[in-house]
């Protein structure tokens, strides 16, 4: 409903911007109802060739993993930042869907929407600690979380691309070319508040449609910096200038306020110390000091946010 009201408002704004030109050209309007718009996340995939999720168990039988495209309904989404979702397998069980290399997220309000995912399905053992972490992300009570006692064996999925069907009613305004030119000129002058209907219906891709906190953005910069450091060190070079902006790790606002515990501050200090040691390295110990930085990152994420651990561990130089 909110989406429909927003779209209607945008249409009225567009018509308002064109109203001064109605004596110059006749407006021809056609109204059309569209059932869905598509939202793309991660790699761009298509809907073709997807199997229904209730067929997945049979397809996976006797295999450790399977590269496949699946469609079904989103049952639940991580309420902290959209970094995982659950899908109903159709047999009373849920499948945990994570996103490859923690590289993208989905909207937190995507529950009950139709989704297409492409990637790897596999049999997974989810530890008690991970189950509790997911339960916290889902907003479950402490009492419910305390009931988690045993590891869970289930089907999991690592998606490299996701399509979410978003049901909307869109109205397409068709006007003559002359009026379109005049409207576009006015819109360029007045700001992006008066977006055209065509702009509103465009499919969009986003890393995190739920917004990024200061700490999330800082850590993304840390990731990019570390990737550059890895390539530099592999070429035999030694980093010199310490990135002062990373000192903001103590003050940047997190996605979840509970993240900033005493243990996080200790991990942050350990990371900064390791990073300073790296930037004071000699050629004979630069790789060792670099891997110490990676270990410091991994230790923190192991306790506070295990989602990116696979990406972090890939940063090590062996």
Sign of the alpha-carbon dihedral angle for 147, 151, 153, 154: positive
| Residue 219 and residue 189 share a domain | no
Task: State how many domains the chain has.
Answer: 3
What's the CA dihedral at 199, 202, 206, 210 to 10 degrees? 70
| Residue 143 and residue 71 share a domain | yes
The total of other beta-carbon atoms located within 10 Å of residue 264's CB is: 19
* Closest alpha carbon to 267 in 234, 305, 241, 232: 305
Residue 35 pLDDT: 54
Asked, for residue 270, whether it belongs to a domain, the answer is yes
> 254 is in which domain, residue-wise?
214-314
| Residue 156 and residue 44 share a domain | yes
> The pTM is what?
0.57
Per-residue pLDDT of the chain (318 residues; tens, 9 = 90+): 445 554 445 544 544 544 444 444 343 444 444 456 899 999 999 999 999 999 999 999 989 899 999 999 999 998 888 889 999 998 888 999 999 988 889 999 999 999 999 999 999 888 888 888 888 888 888 899 899 989 888 899 999 999 999 865 444 434 444 444 454 555 555 544 444 444 433 443 445 666 667 888 888 888 888 988 999 899 899 988 899 999 998 888 887 776 677 788 888 889 999 999 999 999 899 999 999 999 989 888 887 777 788 888 889 998
| Residue 158 and residue 47 share a domain | yes
Three-class SS of 205-273: ECCCCCCCCHHHHHHHHHHHHHHHHHHHHHCCCCCCCCCHHHHHHHCCCCCCHHHCCHHHHHHHHHHHH
| Residue 109 and residue 51 share a domain | yes
| Residue 65 and residue 133 share a domain | yes
What are the two backbone dihedrals, phi and then psi, of residue 32, each rounded to the nearest 5 degrees? -135, 140
Rounded Cα gap, residues 274 and 293, in angstroms = 5
For residues 162 and 114, is the Cβ–Cβ distance under 8 A?
no
Rounded Cα gap, residues 20 and 183, in angstroms = 10
| Residue 254 and residue 305 share a domain | yes
| Residue 191 and residue 120 share a domain | no
Asked, for residue 162, whether it belongs to a domain, the answer is yes
Asked, for residue 205, whether it belongs to a domain, the answer is no
Asked, for residue 206, whether it belongs to a domain, the answer is no
Helix, strand, or coil (residue 100): helix
CATH number where 45 lies: 2.40.50.200
For residues 197 and 10, is the Cβ–Cβ distance under 8 A?
yes
Asked, for residue 208, whether it belongs to a domain, the answer is no
Residue 200 pLDDT: 39
The token duo for 273 is 């110390």
Helix, strand, or coil (residue 117): strand
Start-to-end C-alpha separation, the chain: 53
| Residue 173 and residue 163 share a domain | no
């Amino acid at each position: 409903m909110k989406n429909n009201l927003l779209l209607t408002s945008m249409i009225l704004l567009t018509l308002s911007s064109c109203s001064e030109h109605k004596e110059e050209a006749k407006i021809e309007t056609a109204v059309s109802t569209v059932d869905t718009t598509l939202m793309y996340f991660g790699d761009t995939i298509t809907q073709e060739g997807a199997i229904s999720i209730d067929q997945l168990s049979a397809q996976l039988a006797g295999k450790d993993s399977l590269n496949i495209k699946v469609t079904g309904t989103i049952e639940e989404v991580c309420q902290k930042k959209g970094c995982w979702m659950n899908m109903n397998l159709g047999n009373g069980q849920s499948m945990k869907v994570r996103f490859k290399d923690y590289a993208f997220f989905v909207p937190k309000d995507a529950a009950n929407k139709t989704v297409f995912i492409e990637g790897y399905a596999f049999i997974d053992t989810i530890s008690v600690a991970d189950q509790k972490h997911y339960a916290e992300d889902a907003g479950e009570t402490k009492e419910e979380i305390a009931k988690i006692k045993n590891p869970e064996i289930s089907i999991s999925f690592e998606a490299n691309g996701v399509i979410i069907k978003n049901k909307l009613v869109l109205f397409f305004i068709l006007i003559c070319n002359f009026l379109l030119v005049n409207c576009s000129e006015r819109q360029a002058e007045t700001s992006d508040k008066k977006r055209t209907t065509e702009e509103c219906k465009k499919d969009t891709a986003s890393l995190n449609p739920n917004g990024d906190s200061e700490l999330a953005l800082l850590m993304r910069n840390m990731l990019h910096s570390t990737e550059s450091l890895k390539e530099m060190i592999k070429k035999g070079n030694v980093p010199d200038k310490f990135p002062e902006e990373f000192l903001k790790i103590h003050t940047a606002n997190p996605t979840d306020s509970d993240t900033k515990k005493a243990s996080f501050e200790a991990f942050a200090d350990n990371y900064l110390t390791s990073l300073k040691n790296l930037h004071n390295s000699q050629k004979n110990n630069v790789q060792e000091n670099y891997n110490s930085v990676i270990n410091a990152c991994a230790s923190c994420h192991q306790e506070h946010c295990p989602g990116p651990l696979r990406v972090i561990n890939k940063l090590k130089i062996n």
